[in-house]
Amino acid sequence: MTGRLGPALAAATLAAAVAGCGGSDEPGEPAAPVVAGQPGGTVVVATLSDPDSWTPYTTRRSSTADLLDVLYPRLVREDAAAPGETFEPWLAKSWSFSEDRRRLTFELRADARWSDGSPVTCDDVRFTFDVQTDEALGWAGARYKERIEGVDCPRPSVAVFRFSEAYPDQLLDANDNAIVPRAYGDVPVADWRATPWQDRLVTCGPYRVAESRPGQQVVLERDPRWWDADAVGPDRVVLRQYPDQTSAFRAFLAGDLSVLPGMTATQFDRASTEPHLRVSAVPSLSYTFIAWNVVSPDAYAADRARRDCTEGCAESADDIRRLQRRHPHPILASSAVRRALTLSIDRVDLVDGLWRGGARVTDSPIISTLWAHREQPAWRFDPAAARELLDEAGWIDTDGDGTRDRDGRPLRLRIATYSGHPLRVDTLERVAESLAAVGVDVEVVLAGRAEFVRNAWDRSYDGVLSGWRAGTRVEPHLLFHTEAAVDRGNNLGGWSTPESDALLERGSRASTRAEARDAWTAWQELFRKELPYTMLYEQGRWIGFSRDVVGPDPDPLNLLADLHRWRVAQRGSRDAP
Amino acid sequence: MLRRVGVGLATVAAAGVFAFLLAHALPGDPFDTLDHPGLTADDARRTREALGLDRPLAAQLATVVRSYSEGELGVSFLRQRPVSRVLAETLPWSALLGVAALLTAYPLGIAIALMLFVFPPRSRKAGSALALAVSTAPVFLIAVLLVAFFHRYLGWLPATHAAPIGGGGVGAHLRHLVLPTAALSIPAAATIARYQLAIFERERLARHVRAARAAGSGPIAILVHHVLRPSLTPVLALLGLDLPILVSGAVVVESVFAWPGIGRVVMEAILAADYPLALGATTVTAVAVVLGRTLAEALSPGFESRSRS
């Protein structure tokens, strides 16, 4: 009996499984004819991870933050065409500054309701401010509230922010981050990170959470209490989790997904040939760079070890300056050499080859869509000029081995990148080829995340190829001031000068936008001259859509921001519950 | 019995301590600022301090031991939810996949072994060699081949997730279970088949079988009463050793098929240096191993005595 049961059991299981009811995962179903986009229907968006939290003040993931921006309201919405500069009404229908700009008054919508039916009032705004500034929570954005003294509520529909001084980013600071309900106040702030908020969500947005299946998907449904509920497009939005980009792309090609937020160049090429798909290229706030280490590699780590800094120590900007003076990098301390390296890299070729033109060469770490960006001609690919600069700096190939040298030291650089980022790996390999052509020998280091983070922040490499996703604030001081190099900070190359520090301080403390713009302009000119980083490109993003989905151009700040404005063609099987 | 419980508890405790030390020894920082230019070293340090990660290792271990003794498994850094909650969400999925795989692998493996046992010697050797090849093939390879054939080529079965987008009934869930179950059970069945076949061959030469043959029993009676029944005892022991898969999950299969089980979660936890979750999952797995072993030992003597009688 045992001998016959096993195969029979397996066959029966298989037969039952195949005969089981179908659903949207049936790849063999014939496509129904597409009708014009209209309200209703279901949109399926690929995601690569679960939300790590359900409040804006406990998440550490940008993908989760994007989702939470749909569920919780901000006072105003940033205009993607002019981020950080122009805003449109959202929870606040209007706002105004007092004459001395020390008070910012928001008039809230009277029809804004939380998903539990209670009205959204100034009490929620004030509560949110208290949470944001509570040290027990330790929200990283609390620094943006330092110049806000408090929030007053003269009426339930009016919120007044009091500032200690006037400065350009007041509206940005007041608007950072979304408003959460006063009802969350029954949980002590210190317990927020451990609280299972998904069991008790109270939201206010075009969508609310209908279902959350960890490791599988999050389903959003229209919130009928939202102030513009009639204008909402899809009935449901499913954020379907895939283990990796490749399997998500495969599902997209198969027609199981409506939206694929991000694809590689090869995937873009493939998707562009599929008649049922379309791809939109949008700018992003991300850029890729090579940070040059201006301090001798390992000198920083050795100095910290000498001062017993394994678990933090009293490191100061003076320590960094001391290292810059006493242990300059034998090759990269020279701005002329850094310029030569920049001129050796064909960044236009990188943009065309790796990004199919969907990226932008830049020489500034302030993103081109931000108000403070200074448009200046980018350094052109000029290997002849690069060779000349290297010759002048004394780097000459004396032994004919193809690599330049000086005083017996070869012009050899260890440049590292994170191995888990294929595009950056490709970029670095191309950069290495370009530099080799002018006599610079590059050792490409592809490091796992832990090793990369440890060594990059210890400044153990000669160069680090990495990227940042910037926000809409202009904050180069967080990356380039001497203070940003202290204690393994994000100033990866350890570069700074008194002039740069002074300009960064002027820009970050300016009381008017004009004053700030002057400082940032001067600083960007200095940056372009000194080239502590070779900025490679501002990258765009390809977003794939099924042709069933019709809507506005994707918002570069948050793809999910316009979910409610999408329209979906109706297909019977896709919309089946 | 008391001694067994004591040994079991000591084993679990040792596994937990080892996992704790290993997790902290591995490179990685759950709060690195690689992706966040706005996060400063100060932010990262404050977060570590708030979570007690700046304290000496011994102090951290003492806190963990105290928490565990109170039934608290801590909070996952990555998922920012209680570890017990994460385990409660993922364990049932791993258990479902594990049960389906075990219920498929064991009968299938035993059936294959029986089939090979009655085959002529040459065919038995070829079959055994094939079983060896399948049992040593990487699970990842088998998973990918199943996906390529049943999903992409035939379009019969879904390749990812535990359920369709719209939910669906039992049938829909079963369809999602087929491929991951097959990926797990095929190599397992091959291993069991080889193991069982070897036992069959050993039993055939046993004294009681020769005696039965001499007494005039037919081949089928010998096979069923004198070879098969005593041969199943070691397989039961194997089952006990395989039981932990119900809770430890199958990391590779869960990753390939986007199955929401504990294996995938643990892998992410280890890669992200999410110590509480990695430790919690390891401890649960250790408990399962101990229970599985105990169950296997407990079952074996009973079956043997029934076989003899």
| pLDDT tens digits for range B253-297 | 998 899 999 888 888 888 778 889 989 988 888 888 788 777 777
Contacts of residue B251 in chain A, CB cutoff 8 Å?
none
**Candidates A48, A59, A60, A320, partner chain B, best to mutate (most B CBs within 10 A):** A60
Contacts of residue A487 in chain B, CB cutoff 8 Å?
41-42, 45
ipTM: 0.81
**Chain B residues 32-51 with a CB less than 8 Å from chain A:** 32-43, 45-47, 50
Radius of gyration of chain A (CA): 27
Residue A444 corresponds to which tokens in the numbers above? Answer: 């490409």
Contact in structure between B134 and B190 (CB atoms under 8 Å): yes
CB contact under 8 A, A19 and B258: no
Residue A296 corresponds to which tokens in the numbers above? Answer: 């001798």
Burial class (CB in 10 A: 0-12, 13-18, 19+), A536: buried
Q: From the list B26, B33, B164, which residue is nearest A25 (CB)?
A: B164
Among residues B120, B99, B105, B125, the alpha carbon closest in space to that of B186 is found at B105
Among residues A249, A51, A490, A482, the alpha carbon closest in space to that of B35 is found at A490
CB contact under 8 A, B110 and A18: no
Backbone φ, ψ for residue A372 (5° rounding): -90, -5
Buried-state track A505-531, b at ≥16 Cβ within 10 A, e below 16:
ebbbebeeeeebbebbbbbbebbbebb
Q: From the list B33, B36, B175, which residue is nearest A20 (CB)?
A: B175
**Which residues of B130-229 form beta strands (DSSP E)?**
none
Who contacts B44 (Cβ-Cβ below 8 Å, separation ≥6)? B29, B31, B32, B33
Q: Residue-wise pLDDT tens for chain A (577 aa)?
A: 233 333 333 333 333 333 333 333 333 344 444 445 678 899 999 999 889 899 999 998 888 999 999 999 999 999 988 888 899 999 999 999 999 999 999 999 999 999 999 999 999 999 999 999 999 888 989 999 999 999 999 999 999 999 999 999 999 999 999 999 999 999 999 999 888 899 999 999 999 999 999 889 999 999 999 999 888 889 999 999 998 888 899 999 989 999 999 888 889 999 999 999 999 888 888 999 999 999 999 898 889 888 887 666 778 899 999 999 999 999 999 999 999 999 999 999 999 988 888 899 999 999 998 999 998 888 999 999 999 999 999 999 999 999 999 999 999 999 999 998 888 999 999 999 999 999 999 999 999 888 898 899 889 999 999 998 888 999 999 999 999 998 888 899 999 999 999 999 999 999 999 999 999 999 999 999 999 999 999 988 899 999 989 888 888 889 999 999 999 876 544 433 3
Contacts of residue A58 in chain B, CB cutoff 8 Å?
80
Contact in structure between B38 and A143 (CB atoms under 8 Å): no
CB contact under 8 A, B34 and A452: yes
Contact in structure between A198 and A212 (CB atoms under 8 Å): yes
| A417 to chain B: closest CA residue | B34
**Candidates A2, A53, A172, A316, partner chain B, best to mutate (most B CBs within 10 A):** A2
Residue A244 corresponds to which tokens in the numbers above? Answer: 């990796």
CB contact under 8 A, A19 and B41: no
